[in-house]
Structure 1
Amino acid sequence: MSTRDLETGSERLREVLEPPRRAFIPLPDTQVIERPGWLQLITPSLRQGGLNEVAFSALDEKEADAVIDETIETYRRLGLRFRWSVGPDSRPADLAERLERRGLRRNETLGMIRETADAPASSEGDVTVEQVDEHTVEEYSRTMAEGWEMTDPAPIIAFNRLVLAHPAGRHRLFLARYRGAPAGTAGLVAFERSVYLLGGVVLPTFRKRGLYRALVTARLHYAAGRGIPFATSHARASTSAPLLERLGFETLCRFPMFTND
């Protein structure tokens, strides 16, 4: 499919919603539960987040409450932090309200897209961005764990080592430094027509210094250099979405993302 084909609204929306659901690399203990209208991940070894989510749910209205209760109880019993994405193609229509009634915390999310051509110029001076390799993956992981308030970085270090070694090679990790100090992290997953931007975080001490912009720019340049025409993101309305909008991203949809923390 060409860039021109993706100019239609339906194709662009599909690119924002569907490929990101396949942006995961399973760990040995990851359960991938997939059936028509359902995609769920359960990973007991990542208790504080990651690979624990309901990525897609289109439920029969009569069965929805039972499925919701069973799903929440599974994560609760295992002591796992998880998220539940309620995209515009989710069902039933009141799925978000049903999740709210069960005490899950709602975050408004924007499905965003941008062409990778004509990306802003790379930053210069105090801020640098580098691709992560086996020599910097532990530094990257510890920075990421601090940014996302993970008390134990060991599981995420192991996971990121797996990401770098995975034969599919679709994932790339980026470490931002401020005057040489590790200050922010981000990743991408490459698909045929888009890269999905995820995991961007800047440590509080280094915010408002252009690090988030630099991480986005580096990933746009990565995609453009490989002929991938679009970048997509599921961005929180209250944090990263306004920054992405200023960098040329367009909002195609809004939807709630629920968490149990």
Structure 2
Amino acid sequence: MTLLEDFHAQIRLAGREDEPRPGMVQDTDGPVRRTWSQDPAGFAMVECPAGLGEDPDHWIARQVDFFAGRGQELEWKTYDYDEPADLLERLRAHGFTVEDDEALVLGEVTDLLHPVTAKGVRLRLVDVADDGAFAGIADLHEIVWGRRDGHTQQLREELRRTPGTLDVFVAEAAEPMQVGPVVGSGQAVGHRVEVGQVVCGAWVRYSPGTDFCSLWGGTTHPAARRRGIYRALVAQRAQRASERGFPFVRVDCSPDSLPILTRLGLERVATTVPATRTP
């Protein structure tokens, strides 16, 4: 089997796209696998790893009705090998907005174990009791993305309840840094980074009973870019995954991360495209 076939069998067909998390429901509706927050303001994602059968529009309409009835925004995660081949066109016809492409990247954890020195930062594993680290990740996301949401708190609760399926790392500034102007919180501002401030947060999730771990996060402060921090945190997470016995790694990555990961030895094996619908 190819690595993509292993991934499809062990992760997608087995319903392991997401491990069980606090406050999240994982269920199926016919051929559709669903992961959704019990809070309608939270995340909802569906996919169809085995295709949608003879009446795709029936199953699409059922998901639209279900999540619209909850007043919940929905993401349909598509892979370029999903059936039917015209899935994205059908989703558009049901009111979905097709977002930017992402790359599914797979490879061996050992390819990522090369030591990397990141300049001007300290890397460390985060304990669930570390208020400062989680607050720092939330602050970082507000600076970079212009919004502060509940994702960081959900991440912390996930670590508290299921510590065997998640490790969180941060990079903290070991020296002052400065950049400006950048766009943050809706306006162009300069940013100074103080010693001890979180400049990158990244985590690795494990799928027990499979061969796969997955890398997430990696948002980096504008003042801390081009210092090798992302690559160093990839190596840190790979080392942790290797110690836990996971031979393969999966990343859903942006165009910014793709060149870094392919240079490290991972391979782009598919394209994923999210389609979103607001009720």
> TM class by shorter-chain length?
0.7 to 0.9
Partner of 1:187: 203
1:183 Cα deviation after fit: 1.1
Instruction: Provide the C-alpha distance between the structure 1 equivalents of 2:31 and 2:140, rounded to a whole number of angstroms.
Output: 32
Contact 2:139 2:148 in 1 (8 A): no
Deviations 1:68-102 (A, max 9, x none): 24423544555544421112553322111112343
**1 CA distance for matches of 2:30 and 2:70?**
25
TM-score, normalised to structure 2, is: 0.75
- Residues 162-195 of structure 1 show CA distances to partners (whole Å, capped at 9, x for unaligned) of 2111246211111122333211112111134121
Deviations 1:117-149 (CA, angstroms, capped at 9, x unpaired):
252213244133221212145325414642673
Q: Distance in 2 between matches of 1:16 and 1:252?
A: 15
> Cα distance, 1:44 vs. partner?
5.0
2:77 maps to a residue whose letter is S
State the identity as a percent: 22
Matched, 1:128 2:122: yes
Question: RMSD value over aligned CA atoms?
Answer: 3.1
| Structure index of larger Rg | 2
Give the 3 Å change call, closer, same or farther, for CA 206–81 of structure 1 in structure 2.
Answer: farther
In structure 2, relative to structure 1, the CA distance for the partners of 1:100 and 1:209 (3 Å cut) is: farther
**Once structures 1 and 2 are overlaid, which stretch shifts more, 209-218 or 11-20?**
11-20
Task: Work out the CA distance in 2 between the residues paired with 1:98 and 1:200.
Answer: 33
Q: Is residue 116 of structure 2 the alignment partner of residue 109 of structure 1?
A: no
CA distance in 2, matches of 1:21, 1:144: 29
Q: CA offsets per residue over residues 211-256 of structure 1, 9 Å max, x none? A: 22222121111112333211111223x3322221122211122232
Which of the residues 213, 222, 237 maps onto 1:204? 222
Task: Give the alignment's TM-score, normalised by structure 1.
Answer: 0.79
Change (3 A) 1:46 1:231: farther
Equivalent pairs, count: 250
Change in CA separation of 1:95 and 1:234 when aligned onto 2, cut-off 3 Å: same
Tell me, in whole angstroms, the C-alpha distance in 2 between the residues paired with 1:148 and 1:77.
33
TM-fit CA distance, 1:12: 5.2
CA contact (8 A) 1:54 1:85 kept: yes
**Structure 2 residue identity aligned to 1:245:** T
Uncovered stretches (5+) of structure 1, i.e. residues with no partner: 1-5
Contact 1:127 1:176 (8 Å CA) reproduced? yes
Greater Cα offset, 126-135 or 37-46? 37-46
